[in-house]
Amino acid sequence: MSDIKTSASAALRRKGCADDAASHRLRVMRIVLALLGACFGLLALFNALDGRPVIALAEFGMACCGVLLLIKFRSDQEAERWALPLTMLLGAVILLVFWRKPVEENVFFWIMLMPVVSYLLLGRYRGLRYTAVFMTLALAISVYKFSQTDIGYSLTAVFNVVLCSLCIFTMTHAHEKAREQVHRQLTEAAVVDPLTGLINRAGLSARFFDHRASLRRHRRPGSLILLDLDHFKAINDSYGHAVGDRVLIWMADLFDECLREMDAASRIGGEEFALLLPDADERVALLIAERLRGRIAAGGCEIGGQRIKVTATMGVTPIEQDDSDISAPLMRADALLYRGKRDGRDRVVSNLGSPDSVFDNAPDVAGLWSERMHSP
């Protein structure tokens, strides 16, 4: 089920269930915009007083742009959309100032600022590409300007500027890489049950949103199975919680064997599991649930040479077009599951009737799953 966990964590990132990169980018961008408005406003004033109207005008325009975007930005989507144009505009203004001003040491300070800003606003991969282009242009301008001036610079001074730029670039890249790795690890931890390795309810919800998009776009079927182990407390009381945990892990292994790669098995409670089955209508889901129930009851769980009898009750429901989140099908399946508990446990319940009647009326569907869901 590793592909399912990866898919669920990816879906979770897309749905913003974790501390997603877009929200981080918005917070960073608002700080950068505030600093740009203040710094470039002051620089525009100083350059105007210094008799450099072109540079002053460019810096004043950048300051106004920063203030206006700071007022405008209120959503993650706007931050993502404007991150690259803003970075390109800032880089263009800095290169213009670098081109127009005389060769001075302090102009290199702004050149060295760009790797930090580009990584913060664009992320690691886009920030790396933009920084490479920007630093190449800055180097080309430096070479040209040094060739046009009689001012001599010692090798040590040039080496210090280059080394400082490389250090800032390297540390910024390393920081962004570490931040993305931590973000990815936290996101994956948020969707995985640590005991069984199955996705949890958050991961199931993320997978549901992905399936719902396909359901609405292509009218594809989907179903949900809610499974609860019968008398699980008695197993814990009789054999201990360590054995109970082994039973839960055994169930996860059984799902690996019995379900398709596209299906999503999740542990949503103590001994309660939910199975999301894309491209499976209610008949197919009922048959899968019945085969799975039979496999659990027939095999049992062998631990330390001792076979522990395990049975399960399941509720099966289709995913409806108007289901807005995973809670709606879970509630329907939960009602069916508890009907099965009242009727004696160790059974599968759906609104279609008994599994036997579905087998009789749909032998082709039963055959489709016979090899994958075989008994041991």
Same domain assignment for residues 275 and 180: no
The arithmetic mean of pLDDT across residues 311-331, rounded, is: 92
**Sign of the dihedral defined by the CA atoms of residues 176, 177, 183, 184, in that order:** positive
pLDDT confidence of 300, banded at 50, 70, 90?
confident
| Tokens 């390393």, residue located | 174
Among 130, 162, 191, give the residue marking a domain's end.
191
Same domain assignment for residues 163 and 82: yes
In a domain, 5, yes or no: no
- Number of domains into which the chain is organized: 2
In a domain, 9, yes or no: no
Q: What is the pLDDT of residue 114?
A: 83
In a domain, 264, yes or no: yes
Same domain assignment for residues 217 and 365: yes
Grouping H, G, I as helix, E, B as strand and the rest as coil, residue 135 is: helix
Per-chain mean pLDDT for the chain: 80
Same domain assignment for residues 43 and 139: yes
C-alpha to C-alpha distance for 76 and 80, rounded to whole angstroms: 6
Q: What is the pLDDT of residue 69?
A: 79
Q: What is the pLDDT of residue 105?
A: 56
In a domain, 295, yes or no: yes
Among 164, 191, 218, give the residue marking a domain's end.
191
Q: What is the pLDDT of residue 18?
A: 39
Q: What is the pLDDT of residue 361?
A: 59
Q: What is the pLDDT of residue 124?
A: 83
**Sign of the dihedral defined by the CA atoms of residues 129, 130, 135, 141, in that order:** positive
* Least confident among 10-14, 253-257, 303-307, 329-333: 10-14
Highest mean pLDDT among 68-77, 111-120, 126-135, 165-174: 126-135
* Least confident among 55-59, 145-149, 166-170, 274-278: 145-149
Same domain assignment for residues 183 and 62: yes
In a domain, 209, yes or no: yes
pLDDT confidence of 19, banded at 50, 70, 90?
very low
C-alpha to C-alpha distance for 337 and 187, rounded to whole angstroms: 31
Same domain assignment for residues 179 and 205: no
Same domain assignment for residues 221 and 325: yes
C-alpha to C-alpha distance for 290 and 283, rounded to whole angstroms: 11
Residue 298 near residue 232, CB atoms below 8 Å = no
Which helix H or strand E contains 130, and what residues bound it?
A: helix 107-147
pLDDT per residue over 211-237, tens digit each? 787 777 777 889 999 999 999 999 999
Residues of the chain above pLDDT 90, percent: 27
What is each CA distance from 22 to 29, 65, 180, in whole angstroms? 10, 21, 12
Residue 317 near residue 333, CB atoms below 8 Å = yes
In a domain, 51, yes or no: yes
Count CB-CB contacts under 10 A for residue 161. Answer: 16
Range of the domain at 138: 15-191
Same domain assignment for residues 36 and 137: yes
Grouping H, G, I as helix, E, B as strand and the rest as coil, residue 331 is: helix
Grouping H, G, I as helix, E, B as strand and the rest as coil, residue 87 is: helix
In a domain, 280, yes or no: yes
Which residues does 317 contact at the CB level (< 8 Å), separation at least 6? 223, 224, 226, 282, 329, 332, 333, 336, 350, 351
Q: What is the pLDDT of residue 179?
A: 80
C-alpha to C-alpha distance for 143 and 30, rounded to whole angstroms: 35
C-alpha to C-alpha distance for 39 and 94, rounded to whole angstroms: 12
- According to DSSP, residue 223 is labeled E
Same domain assignment for residues 133 and 156: yes
What is each CA distance from 343 to 60, 179, 336, 337, in whole angstroms? 77, 52, 11, 10
What's the whole-model pTM score? 0.61
Same domain assignment for residues 326 and 253: yes
Same domain assignment for residues 108 and 130: yes
Among 191, 223, 251, give the residue marking a domain's end.
191
Same domain assignment for residues 183 and 264: no
In a domain, 7, yes or no: no
**Residue 124: is it exposed, middle or buried by C-beta count within 10 angstroms (0-12/13-18/19+)?**
middle
Q: What is the pLDDT of residue 17?
A: 42
Question: Dihedral angle at the C-alpha atoms of 114, 117, 121, 127, nearest 10 degrees?
Answer: 40
At 318, which CATH number?
3.30.70.270
